[in-house]
Amino acid sequence: MNIEKFQESMYQLIVETSTKLPKDVRRAVKAAKEKENAGTRAAMSLATITNNIKMADDQVSPICQDTGLPTFKIKTPVGVNQLELKAAIKNAIVQATKDAKLRPNAVDSLTGKNSGDNLGEGLPVFKFDQWEKDYIDVRLILKGGGCENKNIQYSLPCELEGLGRAGRDLDGIRKCIMHSVYQAQGQGCSAGFIGVGIGGDRSSGYDLAKEQLFRSVEDVNPNEDLRKLEEYVMENANKLGIGTMGFGGEATLLGCKIGVMHRIPASFYVSVAYNCWAFRRMGVSVDAETGEIKEWAYQDGEFIDFAQTEAEKETAAAGSSEDVVTLEAPITEEQIRSLKVGDVVQINGMMYTGRDAIHKYLSDHDSPVDLNGQVIYHCGPVMSKDEDGNWQVKAAGPTTSIREEPYQGDIMKKFGIRAVIGKGGMGPKTLAALKEHGGVYLNAIGGAAQYYADCIKSVEGVDLMQFGIPEAMWHLRVEGFKAVVTMDSHGNSLHADVDKSSLEKLVQFKEPVFK
């Protein structure tokens, strides 16, 4: 084999997967957008999402700043040297990271050190199989941390909130799947896709669930029972009212694929792999002699390019015809207390990124910058340097905020922070601190990394680079950075409201369906 050409082909696959959604996913997003109620926060979110998809297409830049954990599923003819393929793919990963098509995401679990090139122990993930065909089939999925954290595994029988007992039968499986969608809320960047694995052990069950995500969104399950179950989940999960980003609405789930395998008598697992709307998976057929790409997978049917009308761009930018509140740091407590859940704000001026490492650091140390009246953005951007050595933001959407729940309220009070931006909302501890201190939580649109990168006009500085690019504190000057107030200083939380209402709707699915 021409291994250099194979490496080139793998680089193309990585870039395409990171920057361009496959055709079937685009059609699912388009269908969700068309059935959403106009003028709602969910409609604004979907307009922003489709705008972001188009920007990523045009700029060949990452759709989401969390370019995920690369998992390769590879089938090879007998006799192909898999060690050579692994080495070539690793080289392609390093190059794609250097070119800012991937964010450096490989972190040593013991030291916290980021390798900087997406390589490390067990990374990337390789799943090899041999087959009798004469070409190599390579599938790649880039699954980000936000949706990965909403994966869930059930051991049947069990008791489920809102649904009661789930037994070791098809109806028990149904309840687990419905519960998995409910528990994800908006934290996994809904509207999402799920892969479900029935059976196996704890590890093989999750592998089977993730494998389902490699299926086409529009395929039909050959197993009649599973086909009916997939159809049931797709129809009824969208009745939970969780909606895009957890704002409420018509589109909560865009795809459900279910697989089954044998198990041992004592164990019955239902494993669910949740994936965000930015469902990045592609595949190629590669000539085993030349290393060249022969064919791309997931290319059947219509390609949706999401070229927007001026009206749609306006909707994405403003969310509605209502007034947009402009904030510029330092923000006063009076300004914050005037905001309420549902308000759309736009931020001009400075904001500072802070994720897990920064929050832990700030709980024990002074801040490298004055944060009084300032805005913290839960974001781990994709960054690169231009020819003059200046930092450029390549992708900069929000990360899931709930991880910072143990720290957030204390950090805000300690440093006088007035606004926090992220996705998916936060919990009761933060909500109480917002009320006491005079703070607000702003929900940005998860995955919209190009849309928000366009709002960042300059990088003014960076601190704590020892934590790696995603976890450093970036000083960003922004203009027209829009988000929605979902937790205010009066004790109101849209996230708590949607959780409560969706749980009430989940209860209606308690009774048996499959006999």
Q: What is the pLDDT of residues 107-134, one digit of tens each?
A: 999 999 999 999 999 999 999 999 999 9
Question: Per residue in 205-256, pLDDT tens?
Answer: 999 999 999 999 999 999 999 999 999 999 999 999 999 999 999 999 999 9
Task: Answer for the pair 140, 72: CB distance below 8 angstroms, yes or no.
Answer: yes
C-beta neighbour count of 459 within 10 angstroms:
16
Cα-Cα-Cα-Cα dihedral of 373, 374, 375, 378, to 10°?
A: -120
* HSE, side-chain direction, 13 A CA sphere, residue 316: 23
Looking at residue 428, its amino acid is P
**CA 149, 150, 153, 157 torsion: positive or negative?**
positive
Dig out the tokens for 332 from the structure: 């006063």
Task: Answer for the pair 327, 335: CB distance below 8 angstroms, yes or no.
Answer: yes
> 160 pLDDT exceeds 50?
yes
> 317 pLDDT exceeds 90?
no
Looking at residue 28, its amino acid is A
What pLDDT sits at residue 207? 98
Nearest to 485 by CA among 371, 330, 346, 352: 346
pTM of the predicted structure, to 2 decimals = 0.94
Helices (H) and strands (E) in the chain, counts: 15, 20
Q: Which residues contact 315 (CB under 8 A, 6 or more apart)?
A: 43, 44, 47
> 334 pLDDT exceeds 80?
yes
